[in-house]
Amino acid sequence: MERIPILKIGAALVVTIQVDMHDRVAMTLQEDLSTSIVASGAKGVLIDISALEIVDSFIGRTLANIASISRVLDAETVVVGMRPAVAITLVELGLALPGVRTALNAERGMALIRQRLAALGLTDGDGPAEA
Amino acid sequence: MAPPKPDPGVQAIAIRTGDDIVRVRQAVRGSAVEVGLSLVDQTKIVTAASELARNTLDYGGGGLATIEIVRDATRRGVRIRFEDAGPGIADVELALKPGYTTGRGMGLGLGGARRLSSEFSIASEIGKGTRVVIARGK
């Protein structure tokens, strides 16, 4: 079945959602990401949704769940690239994605993750920062 | 007897699996683009349709979505009817309240779909089923 690939870049996991999110694909992504965070020890998860034409309550809940699960596993999730029409619709739907950090684009999202790594005394690589 | 000639402005999609929710979204998007809705209006009606298609599947046990392009003298838009033969909704007013859910959802579906639509009606009968009609036009 369809799976969304997860890339590891330094201490972050990067996911770009390029497909129309089927409910099962969303559930699989949630499970795959949880497994990958533990296996890789990643401290940040960047989810790019710039290709998503809609975020309904199911997809919104999946993003919120991923953020909560990541936090419990000591990683921070940043959702980036939301289209303006999607943001307007989400808020009107009643879903403001509480607890989900967002950034305008992937570059700013990575900057947020790097800030967290720096605060933890880690570099963008895996190991602790050099003295 | 020959089957009735299909109206090109009307599409019926059976909702039986999660794949059908995606199919409904794509069909509504196509009709919204065809009728010339703005990007925000397209996004709103597709999102509302996605919520209602999922309700039809999860609570109604499946059903039918009928997507229709509306073109009359004063307006153009997309109207979608969702019908199921499920258990029905005992208290429709309660079901429209934010946060109300009997299932695994967030309770945003029905009320959210109403807020995202410019036209909304619901009829439900216990033991018979539910019908929801939404529309968005310009």
Nearest to A20 among B22, B108, B109 (CB): B22
Residues belonging to chain A with any Cβ–Cβ distance to chain B shorter than 8 Å: 20, 22-24, 53-58, 60-61, 83-86, 88-89, 92-95
Assigned token pair, A70: 């990541």
Question: At residue A127, does pLDDT exceed 60?
Answer: no
- Greater pLDDT, B83 or A24: B83
Best probe of the B interface among A2, A22, A23, A68, by most B CBs < 10 A, is A23
In the CATH hierarchy, which fold is given to the domain comprising B10-137? Answer: Heat Shock Protein 90 (3.30.565)
Task: Give contacts of B42 with chain A, Cβ < 8 Å.
Answer: 85
Confidence of residue A128 (pLDDT cuts 50, 70, 90): very low
Question: At residue A7, does pLDDT exceed 90?
Answer: yes
Confidence of residue A130 (pLDDT cuts 50, 70, 90): very low
Nearest to A57 among B42, B44, B105 (CB): B105
What does the H/E/C string look like for chain A?
CCCCCEEEECCEEEEECCCCCCHHHHHHHHHHHHHHHHHHCCCEEEEECCCCCCCCHHHHHHHHHHHHHHHHCCCEEEEECCCHHHHHHHHHHCCCCCCCEEECCHHHHHHHHHHHHHHCCECCCCCECCC
The β-bridge relationship of strands B76-84 and A12-16 is: unpaired
Q: Cβ A24–B26 below 8 Å, yes or no?
A: no
**Where in chain B are the domains?**
10-137
Element (H, E) at B99: none
- B89-118 confidence digits (pLDDT tens): 888 888 888 766 665 555 568 889 999 999
The β-bridge relationship of strands B76-84 and B119-125 is: unpaired
Nearest to A85 among B25, B40, B112 (CB): B40
CA B92, CA B74: separation in Å to the nearest integer? 31
**Where in chain A are the domains?**
6-119
CATH of A6-119, one of 3.40.50.720, 4.10.80.40, 3.30.750.24, 3.30.1490.190: 3.30.750.24
Assigned token pair, A50: 């710039």
Neighbouring-strand partners of residue A72: none
Q: What is the pLDDT of residue A129?
A: 43
Element (H, E) at B83: strand B76-84
The interface predicted TM-score of the complex, written ipTM, equals 0.87
Largest Cα–Cα separation, chain A: 49
Assigned token pair, A39: 């296996």
- A55-102 confidence digits (pLDDT tens): 998 999 999 999 999 999 999 999 999 999 999 999 998 888 888 999
Position of tokens 């009609």?
B133
Contact call for residues B6 and B67 (beta carbons, < 8 A) = no
